[in-house]
């Protein structure tokens, strides 16, 4: 006879019962069973057992269907958070420095990320952008250089597409200068006239708001306006089918265009920026030479050509096939020395340096990839420095927490749990900083948008970037926690509990290294900022060889202004404020393309390139350009075959006695388009002018050859007025009035020349501002780190300072004592940081043809500034500690 | 009023745990209730009550020794916590208060009513 209860019921009980209750209840059941068996026999005991088991089948006894064990250790995490919070609240300085440092770090990182992302996202919104290319022509010049052109002859792609199946589709864009638009004479402006092939809207993915993309731009004199222009000239009503006045004329009547579509304003991250797009069919109707030209031209540079190639096409092979094709059709009187290439569409924005005819690349002045990398590096550096700070501080703080660590260890905390405490600490700090930086981001973004002139939508960042940022939060947190965690693992429990950790010296040196690295970056940034600002100052103050102050330039946009320029000059000269007035084909600081003449002395085959400018007799006076030899032009047209050279031009031509010599101009080049003159232009040199900078100081000074105002080379395009006035608004309204009398149809278009020159360096000035901002931020973060480290050092030496004071040390000597070890670090940082900044700044300066001497003083200055900042930081912290009455600091013993 | 909720059976269990002092575990509590109150207590009902009281924090438990008749399973001893004591006090004091609030007359009337019903009994039967 077994003395066990029914097995099946016992099994059943064990199955359903909650494991936490199982043992004790089973014990009770067994105990009762044994008793009952003795009392009333096995059968009854069995029955009662079964009844008890069935009655135990209650919700509170049955195990839950889900997991029943504590699979998580929420409790432990709760404890981690609690301890972390207490720690953060207790050490307010520590928390403040860390949170603000990391916040700035994250903020800069995100802002720079947005900026870089925007730069990289250029032109990627076209769905075929991966197979889109822009064709480039690389023509070898006589002097051995290669001229890269983004515009090629229109026939090349047309014929190639017919023969080579790799070319899926193409679209050509061409520019025809500018024209005034607008039906209301009071509301007219000048806009770039851009024509495109009929497939523009199917080739590119620029959406049309009104009009059908398959039907617009089919007929002559059709125009598609962008939203802004449509609003400007037609208000809120639909412009479709309406006509718009233009300053161009046909048969002596203003030419009117029919609006056939409205396109959405092009996204800011498109290198193509077009306001008004005209149909290609317009030009043959407008110019009778156009059809002949287009159907025979293989050599000009007139069309920006975009193509879509079949995937996996052999681009190099295609280029050489096209080369052969072009060569076979090339005009026989011109040598063919060109290569063609396909530039990937999404590289147009960033990689278009040294490419001429970039007329449609409105972001031409945009950032170079080099700076993009620099910005990327700066963003990472900021984040890194903030992390280093945190590591430094957390390590210092970890020593204060040795007792806590010892306690945990003695209670048997495994390594993981010790590390977890530090990781939670830093996740908490990183998380709070991240949230703060997101809040700040929303506040700062509008300013950043204005500053960068970019759309910069937070939503434009792809998800992977957000993942990256969140990843950065965690990586920061974990990286920051690693060092203190290692320390905590290394120290022995007993020593930790006693609070005597002697590892300080060893780890202190690591933290010193980190600090040195930070200061190296700071010093490099300070030096770079100094270099940028000094170079900009150098450029602004450099003698241009002429005067650009208080010069007002009027653009000639109408025939009335161009004809009889002597009369127009006399009209504009009437107000008393106008000191002098001159007309010219181009002006210094030119923003349009200007012709460059190939010049040689008579009988000399050596060709020289010079900027050709047609001027009248008042030009040199108005611009204060000194005449060194010979004479100025006479007024009137008697000097139409005379020229004035600049000194460097004389030197290049090798003329010893220039006056009276004959020079020859066989070809004229505008951007990449080389035009051979029908008859070689021969002229006599009548004067020599002092050199002046026609272009920005980024370019080397180029010789200038002055001709008469209206030559076969060029017609006049500007009036320049030297103005002396106290009230610019009044003067300008006077000029507007005069302009209205001469030509009521075209508004006065004017610019200030000094602004033009300033614009050349705008991108650099902006770069300077960016560097300044980031220098300040980096220095700030570094100082926070220094401050924290000094605090730690001072606090751990409270007693030492007390003893020293008792023994008669002065406040100065104590500050000196503490500062010394840190200032040495700053000097060491200078040794690392300064060569670095020298290297980068030197390569930046290469952009300028005229650069300031990169003297040692700038770097010494940067080092001194850093030392002063460091000393101030240390001083503030040490001063208080050094002034404390030693009684206070020694009493704690 | 929800402050200390204690059901009738729960109160009995609490009191018994108190009586048994250091020897309160499943079987002993069951036997004690059965012998004192002359009513059967199923293991299920008792365990449910114990678990609920422990969850409420009125009782705390610790594992005791394992004996042979328990097939090596440990006893789970129960002890009243401070909170449990408060709950019991509260329960007792509310009862006492209610008891005290009953007017003496109520007891007299109770007797009257009994008489009246007795008088009416024949009438009811007749109907």
Write out the DSSP string of A862-878.
HHHHHHHHHHHHHHHHH
**Residue A893: what pLDDT?**
46
pLDDT of residue A67: 57
Q: Distance of alpha carbon A858 from its chain centroid, rounded?
A: 26
> Residue A362's pLDDT band (boundaries 50, 70, 90)?
very low
Average confidence score pLDDT of chain A: 83
Q: How many angstroms separate the most distant Cα atoms in chain A?
A: 146
Exposed / middle / buried, residue A275 (Cβ in 10 Å: 0-12, 13-18, 19+): buried
For the record, the structure tokens of A762 come out as 């705008």
Taking the C-alpha atoms of residue A679 and residue A668, their distance in angstroms, rounded to an integer, is 12
Closest residue to B70, CB basis, from A27, A55, A60 = A27
Which DSSP letter does residue A144 get? S
Instruction: Give the CA distances from residue A81 to residues A127, A412, A420, A514, A807, in Å, rounded to whole numbers and listed in that order.
Output: 48, 19, 10, 28, 45
Give me the percent of chain A exceeding a pLDDT of 90. Answer: 5
Of residues A487, A479, A485, A379, the one with CA closest to residue A430: A479
Q: How far is A12 from chain B (nearest CA, A)?
A: 14
CA nearest to A556, candidates A429, A757, A339, A710: A710
**Which among A425, A395, A388 is positioned nearest to A488, based on CA atoms?**
A395
B74 with A32: Cβ contact below 8 A: no
Which ranges in B2-127 belong to alpha helices (H)? 8-20, 26-37, 43-56, 82-101, 104-126
pLDDT of residue A482: 76
B37 touches chain A (CB under 8 A): no
Asked if A730 reaches chain B (Cβ–Cβ under 8 Å), the answer is: no
Query: Between A and B, how many residue pairs show a Cβ–Cβ distance under 8 A?
Result: 72
Residue A670 has pLDDT above 70, yes or no: yes
| Chain B residue nearest residue A48, CA to CA | B42
Closest CA of chain A from B33, distance in Å: 15
Is residue A775 helix, strand or coil?
A: helix
Which is more confidently placed, A508 or A32? A32
Question: A276-279 and A608-614: which strand pairing?
Answer: unpaired
Nearest CA in chain A to B76: A24
Query: Nearest residue of B to residue A35 by CA position?
Result: B69
| Cα diameter, chain B | 67
Q: What is the mean pLDDT of residues A733-738?
A: 88
Q: How far does the CA of residue B76 sit from the closest CA of chain A (Å)?
A: 6
Quick: pLDDT tens for A2-61: 567 888 888 888 888 888 788 888 888 888 888 888 888 888 888 888 888 888 888 878
Amino acid A501: pLDDT: 53
For A54, which residue in chain B has the nearest alpha carbon? B44
Residue A29: list chain B partners with CB under 8 A: 43
- Global pTM exceeds 0.90: no
Identify the CA nearest to A52 among candidates B85, B115, B30, B23: B30
- pLDDT over 80 at A807, yes or no: yes
d(CA B88, CA A164): 98
Q: Out of A773-782, A819-828, B53-62, B118-127, pick the least confident.
A: B118-127
What phi and psi values does residue A585 have, to the nearest 5 degrees?
Answer: -75, -35
Q: Which residue of A has its CA nearest to B64?
A: A24
Q: Pick B26's closest partner by Cβ from A28, A35, A57.
A: A28
Phi (first) and psi of residue A22, to 5 degrees? -55, -55
8 A C-beta contact, residue A157 and residue A167? yes
* CB pair distance less than 8 Å for A26 and B71: yes
Q: Give the pair of three-digit tokens for residue A100.
A: 């603000």
Touching B: A residues 45-84, CB under 8 Å:
51-52, 55-58, 60-61
Average pLDDT over residues A768-779: 83
Q: Considering only alpha carbons, which residue of chain B is nearest residue A61?
A: B48
Nearest CA distance, A7 vs chain B (angstrom): 14
At A366 the pLDDT is 56
| pLDDT tens profile A531-558 | 988 888 888 888 888 888 888 898 887 7
Specify the 3-state DSSP secondary structure of A616: coil
DSSP state of A115: H
Task: Output the pLDDT for position A880.
Answer: 79
Structure tokens at A302: 């007139």
Does position A371 have pLDDT exceeding 90, yes or no? no
* β A673-689/A642-646 pair status: parallel
- Residue B122 pLDDT: 55
> Which residue, among A7, A13, A25, A52, would best test binding to B if mutated, counting the most B CBs under 10 Å from its CB?
A25
Q: Output the pLDDT for position A460.
A: 66
Residue A602 and residue A663: Cα distance in Å, rounded? 5
Given a cut of 90, is residue A308 above it in pLDDT? yes
Residue A91 DSSP symbol: -
Q: Are B14 and B97 contacting, i.e. CB atoms less than 8 angstroms apart?
A: no
Distance in angstroms (rounded) separating the CA atoms of residues B91 and A288 = 111
Contacts of A47 in chain B (CB under 8 A): none
User: Where in A184-266 does DSSP place strands (E)?
Assistant: 189-196, 208-210, 222-226, 243-250, 253-263
Which tops the pLDDT comparison, A499 or A632?
Answer: A632
Q: Return the residue in A10, A26, A28 with the most chain B beta carbons within 10 A, the one to mutate for interface testing.
A: A28
Q: Is B51 on the interface with A (CB under 8 A)?
A: yes
Q: Which positions in chain A touch B43 (Cβ < 8 Å)?
A: 25, 28-29, 32, 52, 55-56
Contact present, A717 and A556 (Cβ < 8 Å): yes
Q: Is residue B34 within 8 angstroms of chain A, CB to CB?
A: no
pLDDT at position A503:
47
- How many CB atoms neighbour CB A293 within 10 A? 16
ipTM (interface pTM): 0.77
Structure tokens at A153: 């002859």
């Amino acid at each position: 006879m077994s003395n066990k209860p029914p097995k099946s019921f016992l099994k059943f009980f064990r199955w359903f019962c909650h494991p936490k209750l199982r043992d004790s209840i089973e014990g009770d059941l067994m105990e009762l069973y044994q008793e009952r068996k003795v009392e009333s026999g096995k059968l009854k005991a069995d029955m009662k057992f079964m009844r008890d088991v069935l009655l135990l089948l209650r919700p509170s006894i049955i195990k839950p269907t889900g997991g029943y064990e504590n699979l998580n250790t929420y409790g432990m995490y709760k404890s981690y958070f609690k301890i972390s919070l207490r720690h953060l609240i207790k050490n307010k300085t520590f928390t403040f420095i860390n949170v603000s440092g990391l916040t700035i770090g994250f903020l800069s990182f995100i802002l720079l990320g947005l900026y870089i992302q925007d730069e990289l996202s250029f032109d990627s919104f076209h769905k075929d952008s991966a197979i889109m290319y822009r064709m480039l022509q690389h023509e070898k010049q006589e002097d051995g250089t290669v001229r890269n052109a983004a515009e090629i002859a229109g026939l090349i792609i047309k014929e190639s597409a017919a023969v080579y199946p790799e070319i899926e589709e193409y679209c050509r864009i061409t520019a025809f200068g500018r024209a005034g638009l607008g039906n209301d004479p009071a509301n007219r402006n000048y806009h770039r006239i851009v024509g495109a092939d009929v497939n523009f809207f199917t080739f590119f993915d620029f959406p049309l708001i009104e009009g059908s993309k398959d039907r617009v731009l089919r007929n002559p004199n059709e125009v598609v306006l962008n939203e802004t222009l449509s609003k400007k000239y037609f208000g809120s009503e639909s412009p479709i089918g309406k006509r718009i006045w233009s300053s161009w004329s046909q048969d002596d009547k203003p030419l009117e265009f029919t609006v056939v579509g409205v396109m959405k304003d092009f996204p800011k991250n498109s290198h193509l920026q077009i306001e008004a797009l005209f149909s290609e069919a317009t030009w043959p109707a407008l110019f009778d030479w156009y059809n002949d030209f287009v159907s025979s031209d293989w050599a000009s540079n007139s069309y920006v050509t975009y193509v879509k190639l079949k995937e996996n096409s052999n681009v190099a092979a295609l280029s050489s096939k096209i080369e052969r094709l072009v060569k076979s059709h090339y005009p026989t009187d011109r040598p063919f020395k060109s290569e063609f290439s396909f530039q990937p569409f999404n590289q147009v924005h960033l990689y278009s340096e040294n490419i001429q005819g970039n007329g449609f690349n409105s972001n031409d002045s945009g950032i170079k990839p080099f700076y993009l990398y620099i910005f990327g590096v700066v963003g990472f550096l900021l984040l890194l420095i903030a992390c280093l700070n945190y590591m430094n501080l957390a390590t210092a703080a970890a020593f204060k927490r040795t007792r806590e660590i010892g306690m945990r260890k003695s209670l048997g905390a495994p390594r993981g749990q010790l590390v977890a405490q530090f990781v939670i600490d830093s996740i908490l700090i990183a998380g709070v900083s991240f949230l703060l930086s997101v809040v700040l981001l929303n506040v700062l973004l509008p300013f950043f948008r204005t500053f960068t002139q970019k759309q910069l939508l937070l939503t434009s960042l792809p998800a992977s970037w957000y993942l990256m940022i969140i990843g950065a939060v965690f990586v920061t947190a974990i990286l920051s926690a690693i060092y203190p965690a290692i320390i905590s693992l290394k120290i022995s429990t007993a020593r930790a509990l006693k609070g005597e950790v002697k590892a300080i010296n060893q780890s202190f040196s690591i933290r010193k290294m980190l600090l040195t690295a930070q200061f190296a970056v700071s010093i490099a940034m300070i030096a770079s900022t100094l270099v940028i600002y000094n170079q900009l100052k150098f450029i602004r103050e450099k003698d241009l060889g002429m005067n650009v102050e208080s010069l007002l330039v009027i653009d000639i946009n109408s025939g009335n202004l161009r004809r009889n320029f002597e009369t127009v000059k006399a009209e504009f000269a009437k107000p008393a404020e106008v000191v002098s007035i001159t007309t010219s084909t181009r002006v210094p600081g030119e923003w349009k393309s200007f012709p460059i003449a190939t010049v040689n002395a008579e009988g000399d085959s050596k060709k020289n390139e010079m900027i050709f400018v047609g001027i009248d007799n008042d030009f040199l006076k108005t611009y204060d350009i000194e005449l060194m030899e010979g004479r100025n032009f006479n007024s009137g047209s008697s000097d139409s075959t005379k020229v004035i050279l600049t000194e460097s031009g004389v030197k290049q031509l090798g003329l010893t006695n220039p006056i009276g010599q004959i020079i020859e101009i066989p070809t004229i080049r505008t951007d990449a388009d080389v035009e051979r003159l029908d008859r070689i232009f021969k002229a006599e040199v009548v004067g020599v002018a002092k050199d002046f900078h026609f272009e920005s100081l980024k370019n080397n000074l180029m010789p200038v050859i002055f001709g008469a105002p209206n030559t076969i080379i060029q017609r006049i395009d500007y009036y320049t007025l030297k103005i002396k006035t106290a009230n610019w608004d009044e003067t300008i309204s006077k000029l507007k009035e005069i302009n209205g009398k001469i030509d009521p149809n075209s508004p006065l278009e004017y610019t200030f020349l000094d602004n033009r020159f300033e614009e050349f360096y705008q991108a650099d000035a902006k770069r300077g501002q960016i560097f300044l901002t980031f220098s300040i931020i980096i220095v700030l973060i570094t100082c926070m780190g220094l401050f924290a480290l000094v605090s730690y050092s001072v606090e751990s030496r409270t007693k030492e300072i007390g003893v020293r004071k008792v023994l008669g040390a002065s406040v100065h000597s104590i500050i000196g004592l503490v500062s010394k070890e840190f200032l040495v670090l700053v000097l060491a940082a200078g040794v690392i940081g300064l060569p670095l900044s020298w290297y980068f700044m030197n390569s930046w300066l290469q952009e300028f043809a005229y650069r300031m001497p990169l003297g040692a003083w700038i770097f010494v200055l940067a080092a001194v500034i850093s030392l002063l900042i460091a000393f101030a930081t240390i001083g503030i912290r040490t001063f208080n500690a050094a002034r404390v009455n030693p009684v206070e600091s020694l009493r704690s013993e | 009023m929800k402050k200390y909720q204690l059901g009738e059976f729960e109160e009995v269990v609490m009191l018994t745990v108190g009586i048994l002092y250091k020897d309160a575990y499943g079987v002993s509590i069951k036997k004690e209730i059965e012998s004192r109150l002359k009513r059967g207590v199923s293991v299920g009902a008792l365990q449910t009550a114990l678990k609920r009281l422990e969850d409420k924090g009125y009782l705390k438990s610790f594992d005791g020794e394992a004996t042979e008749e328990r097939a090596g399973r440990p006893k789970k001893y129960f002890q009243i916590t401070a909170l449990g004591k408060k709950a019991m006090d509260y329960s007792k004091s509310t009862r006492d208060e209610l008891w005290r609030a009953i007017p003496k007359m109520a007891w007299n009337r109770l007797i009257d009513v009994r008489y009246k019903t007795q008088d009416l009994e024949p009438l009811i039967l007749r109907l």
